Amino acid sequence: MEANASGSTDLLGMKPRHRLDKRFLMMVGIALTAFLVRLSVMSHGQSMADPYSYANMALEILKARTIPSRTTLTYPGSQIIVPPLLPLSAAGLSLLGINPLDALLSITLAVSSLTAIPVFLSAEKLAGTSAGAISATLFAFSYPMLYMLTWGAYPNAIAIFFMGWILYVLVADEPRRTWLISVLLSLIAFTHHFTFLITASWLILYALLLALKRERGRSRLLGVNLALALAVSSLWYLPRWPLLLAAGATGSAPSLEEVLSSFSGVQASDLVLVFFAPFGLYRSQKGERMTITSLLLTLTIYLLYASQNPIIGARVLYFFSLAVFILSGAAVPFLQARMGVTALGIILILTFTASYLNSASASTYFANIDVKDEEAIKWLRSNLREADIILTVDDEVSYIAFHTGRATIGSGDSEYAFLPEQRRMMVDANMILAKPSESSALMRQYNITYIVLPASSQAARSVDDAGFTLVYKGGLAVWRV
């Protein structure tokens, strides 16, 4: 509990006259811990998929000196629908001499770490400063939040920072700060599509619940700010809405294995915290309870929908973790009196340890799942002409395009390529690599001058057998067409 006027201390031993200083230092210390944990986890390397795709968009912005509508590097001519805020920020930092890939990682690690602050403040509002400290520390070591970084969900991590502040503004229930919701939701809209959809849905539900409770003043104020944010967001979303709708659908119903694998961002200790959360909800006040309950209800609806889309199911868990860690921290003072400090401490330490080790393992896996070959990149950069186009596999597309600065297309599962241009190019690339000796017309159509493939792949053996000129072989093999 918090210190009172008589000079008593809270569970962390903070005396009233030092409360503000220690509280501030506590938040800074936890945010710094979160940063160091993330830096350590990501020291194993970055995934070659999503981070490189965002880095390529930063290059596109630098090349066009604006936010372009179509790509010139990966699957050239495809429409760009990735929200621009993060790539634009990375492009800005690259003007200072920072590599766009490093800029993306630096921005993401810093912002993700600072999310500990709204988590702290929200839990503190529910159950005191000690609850805030525990919730923020849980977030610092949160496996779902660390796991999303390991595979490259950088915009998702940054959007959750803005979402965390929206949660705090609502929990704090200060009408004079409601305008911040409009600003924060607009920032989410230009950062990450799915976080925007989740947050906007939650806020609409919350506004309706306020109206049903006859709290028309608060409902109207929230509605106005929602309308402003949606109007600003429409500048980006309306022209791209048909493509975004297509992004949420897969070509076939998922198997049970696919549904279960989508929950890979969960560990056993996270499930323990789920049992803590109801106690935190019990401790919260009526208004705070409705705020968090409306979020959990929104996420539950999305999770039910996710039974048809395992990719969305995995993403929904990240948002659940934000609420669960806040509620778990709020529950700790209540549970401490019943479980004892030692038992509770062991559970929390095991959670932190498991989160770090599992996240480091995931980072190593995603950093090494595809082929990186610096020597092949050096050869390509020394020999490619401006008009050359490279054919590869989808896993290597963004990596090769980023390091060579040349147009690159790839083969892969076209079912998940919801952009029409990308799907068409992927289908054609599949045909070329399946029968390279019979695909000269398709290669001329795309002006393909080099084929770059993992040297040990079946596609590489097919290209080799077709008689193309092998000019480099290492982890990647390069053929001149």
Residue among 326, 291, 293, 274 at smallest CA distance from 118: 326
Per-residue confidence (pLDDT) for residue 11, from 0 to 100:
38
Question: Which of 326, 343, 366 represents a domain boundary (last residue)?
Answer: 366
Residue 29, in any domain of the structure: yes
pTM here is: 0.87
Question: Which of 340, 366, 392 represents a domain boundary (last residue)?
Answer: 366
- Alpha-helix runs per DSSP H in 372-419: 374-383, 394-404
Strand order through the sheet with 476-480: 407-411, 389-393, 448-454, 476-480, 469-473
Q: Are 89 and 192 in contact (CB under 8 A)?
A: no
Domain identity same for 362 and 384:
no
Dig out the tokens for 211 from the structure: 């109206």
What DSSP character marks residue 255? P
Domain identity same for 349 and 239:
yes
Q: Which amino acid is at 467?
A: G
Beta strands 476-480 and 469-473 are antiparallel
Domain identity same for 308 and 335:
yes
Domain that holds residue 413: 374-480
Residue 267, in any domain of the structure: yes
Domain identity same for 100 and 150:
yes
How many residues comprise the chain?
Answer: 481
Side-chain-side CA neighbours of 210 within 13 Å: the count stands at 20
Residue 8, in any domain of the structure: no
Q: What is the pLDDT along the chain (481 residues), one digit of tens a residue?
A: 344 433 444 434 444 555 567 888 999 999 999 999 999 999 988 898 899 999 999 999 999 999 999 999 999 999 898 999 999 999 999 999 999 999 999 999 999 999 999 999 999 988 888 888 888 998 999 888 999 999 999 999 999 999 999 999 998 887 778 889 999 999 999 999 999 999 999 999 999 998 888 787 888 899 999 999 999 999 998 888 777 776 555 444 445 454 445 455 555 556 656 667 777 776 666 667 788 889 989 988 887 776 666 666 667 888 888 888 888 877 876 666 666 667 767 777 887 888 888 888 889 989 888 899 999 999 999 999 888 999 999 999 999 999 999 999 999 887 777 788 888 999 999 999 999 988 889 999 999 999 999 999 989 999 988 888 999 999 999 999 8
The b-or-e profile of 438-466 (16+ CB within 10 A means b, else e) is: ebeebbeebebbbbbbbbebebbebbbeb
Q: Are 299 and 320 in contact (CB under 8 A)?
A: yes
Dig out the tokens for 107 from the structure: 């921005």
Q: Are 198 and 303 in contact (CB under 8 A)?
A: no
Give how many domains the chain has, as a whole number. Answer: 2
Domain identity same for 219 and 331:
yes
Residue 351, in any domain of the structure: yes
Q: Compute the distance between CA of residue 277 and CA of residue 329 in angstroms, rounded to an integer.
A: 8
Dig out the tokens for 311 from the structure: 């990719």
The rounded Cα 204 to chain-centroid distance in angstroms is 23
Domain identity same for 112 and 238:
yes
Per-residue confidence (pLDDT) for residue 404, from 0 to 100:
95
Domain identity same for 62 and 181:
yes
Domain identity same for 359 and 382:
no
Question: Which of 322, 347, 366 represents a domain boundary (last residue)?
Answer: 366
Q: Are 443 and 481 in contact (CB under 8 A)?
A: yes
Per-residue confidence (pLDDT) for residue 197, from 0 to 100:
92
Residue among 164, 157, 41 at smallest CA distance from 108: 157
Residue 2, in any domain of the structure: no
Residue 208, in any domain of the structure: yes
Per-residue confidence (pLDDT) for residue 273, from 0 to 100:
63
Residue 12, in any domain of the structure: no
Backbone phi, then psi, for 8, in 5-degree steps?
-70, 165
Beta strands 469-473 and 407-411 are unpaired
The label of the residue with tokens 């000019």 reads 471
Domain identity same for 188 and 222:
yes
Q: Are 218 and 175 in contact (CB under 8 A)?
A: yes
Residue 6, in any domain of the structure: no
